A = this chain, B = another copy of it.
Amino acid sequence: MTETAEQLLNFEPDDERYVAELTEYVAIPSVSRDADASTMRRAAEWIAEKIDFADPQIVETGGHPAVVGAWLGRPGAPTVLVYGHYDVQPTGALEEWVTPPFEMTRYTDPDSGEERLRGRGATDDKGPTYLAVETCRQFLGQEGALPLNVRFLFEGEEEIGSPHLASYVEAHPDALAADLVISADGAMWRPDEPSLSTASKGLLALDIEVTGADRDLHSGRYGGTVANPIHALAEILASLHHSDGRIAVAGFEDGIAPTSDGELAEIAAVAFDEEAYRTDLGVDELVGEPGLSTLARLWTRPTLEVNGITGGGAYTVIPRVASAHVTCRLVPGQDPLAVYDAVQRHVHAHTPAGVRVTTTHEPGPVPAYTIPADHPAIRAARAALEVVYPGEPVLLARIGGTLPATTLFEEVLGAKTLFFSFAFADEFHHAPNEFMRLRRLREGMRAWEALLRLLAEGEHRLGTAP
């Protein structure tokens, strides 16, 4: 960091302007689930104006528009694509908010003494996007240039599953071409230590439907003579796991490389308080497949969870149909469609007589994603975090959740995605009273500055864009 430390930007002496601008942005209630088109466009225009140095365009996607832009003033230098989203989650119950969700409020948390910014979108993803863009503006204002070429893609549908992102990216690979995607979305794992995500799990969602007679039946007039679809579904679902928690579906784990002793040792070295985790969940004991710690299961093992069941009701019926929704979280090596085939075979093989079963999977299953720990982007990001948090080791974490855009960017743009957000996982994402920690604004800007400098030259320099 010696070479970059000499060239630090001069950020403003207090946070007033940053907070004022973010307040404006949060005030636009860009709830992608139900806002009208003009509200969504106002939010798109707000962030587009913030990248006025990059020839911003508001582009149609078939749903809410996206904002794209590019500053390509460093011919021969690497190119990064900064990703974020301007849409937000619905507020949920307004009476649960301490202050109105779209009036961003600066306050001091009495427990931690931290200054915080409360509002819908503050941390997901308006604050983290704002600080990335603001860093670029400061580069241009103070140095007249960015250290490398930067493209932007801010979508308006992240919170509703990005239904039009894939088709847009697939149609515009040249306009989005980059050596690396840097996501301003995401969140660090724990608020007490800097971390980077190096893996996220894949996702396969499927439904199982069991059908019996051609109509609902009176349980007295027909009970004991005809198969009950709920009994059959229970039998199928109970067969999906062994009693010790291991998944019982033959072929489910095909392709998974065993976790190495080195990886297990690394995970074992991560401070993780199982007792605090258990207490937080309010359960008597944690459960899962044997032989692995809770954190090792969370980070390295695939899962098959039944998320929903439905059938009949609280009256004397043998229902015509019973069904279940299932999601599998996948790890590297698993092919989502092969996993689906394995589950389907298992379900059919475990369906009792007298009922019919169908399985269907949701479109677009996602494989697991990884970025190697020695990828230049991870090394650069680690170095950038060390600038901001000197002396604090950077934890390489894995994500149990799924980040579909990573696969999209890898497949279409050939670029890995680095998650570089200054949101933290405890900041009430998607819930009432969402907040961002004020100091993360300034820490994030300094870290983005360092990251962009590091990726531009020296040992962490990215390869040249195609």
- In the assembly, what is the distance between CA of A230 and CA of B240, in Å? 12
Interface residues on A, range: 35 or more
Q: In chain A, residues 355-408, which have Cβ atoms closer than 8 Å to a Cβ of chain B?
A: 355-356, 399-402
How close is A460's CB to chain B, nearest CB, in angstroms?
Answer: 30
From B284, B288, B308, B354, A225 is in contact (CB under 8 Å) with B288
The answer to whether A313 and B307 touch across the interface, beta carbons within 8 angstroms, is: yes
Q: In chain A, residues 253-308, which have Cβ atoms closer than 8 Å to a Cβ of chain B?
A: 277, 281-289, 294, 297-298, 301-303, 305-308
In the complex, what residue of chain B is closest to A274 when comparing beta carbons?
B225
From B294, B313, B314, B316, A203 is in contact (CB under 8 Å) with B316
Interface-located stretch among A86-94, A101-109, A138-146, A212-220: A212-220
The answer to whether B286 and A231 touch across the interface, beta carbons within 8 angstroms, is: no
- In the assembly, what is the distance between CA of A374 and CA of B81, in Å? 89
The answer to whether A325 and B312 touch across the interface, beta carbons within 8 angstroms, is: yes
Q: Is A48 in the interface zone, CB < 8 Å from B?
A: no
The answer to whether A286 and B225 touch across the interface, beta carbons within 8 angstroms, is: yes
The answer to whether A354 and B287 touch across the interface, beta carbons within 8 angstroms, is: yes
Contacts of A228 in B (CB 8 A): 305-306
Q: Is A224 in the interface zone, CB < 8 Å from B?
A: yes
Contacts of A314 in B (CB 8 A): 207, 307-308, 325
Q: Is A465 in the interface zone, CB < 8 Å from B?
A: no
Contacts of A231 in B (CB 8 A): 237-238, 240-241, 305-306
From B213, B214, B222, B237, A400 is in contact (CB under 8 Å) with B222
The answer to whether B315 and A307 touch across the interface, beta carbons within 8 angstroms, is: yes
Contacts of A174 in B (CB 8 A): none
The answer to whether B281 and A224 touch across the interface, beta carbons within 8 angstroms, is: no
Q: In chain A, residues 194-228, which have Cβ atoms closer than 8 Å to a Cβ of chain B?
A: 201, 203, 205, 207, 212-215, 217-228
Q: Is A22 in the interface zone, CB < 8 Å from B?
A: no
- In the assembly, what is the distance between CA of A294 and CA of B221, in Å? 12
Contacts of A240 in B (CB 8 A): 231
Q: Is A454 in the interface zone, CB < 8 Å from B?
A: no
Q: In chain A, residues 48-104, which have Cβ atoms closer than 8 Å to a Cβ of chain B?
A: none
The answer to whether A224 and B322 touch across the interface, beta carbons within 8 angstroms, is: no
In the complex, what residue of chain B is closest to A325 when comparing beta carbons?
B314
- In the assembly, what is the distance between CA of A315 and CA of B356, in Å? 24
- In the assembly, what is the distance between CA of A306 and CA of B228, in Å? 8
Contact sample, A vs B, 21 pairs, CB 8 Å cutoff: A213-B281, A213-B283, A215-B281, A221-B400, A223-B305, A224-B297, A224-B298, A225-B298, A226-B281, A230-B306, A230-B308, A231-B237, A231-B238, A234-B235, A234-B306, A238-B239, A287-B353, A306-B312, A308-B313, A309-B311, A310-B310
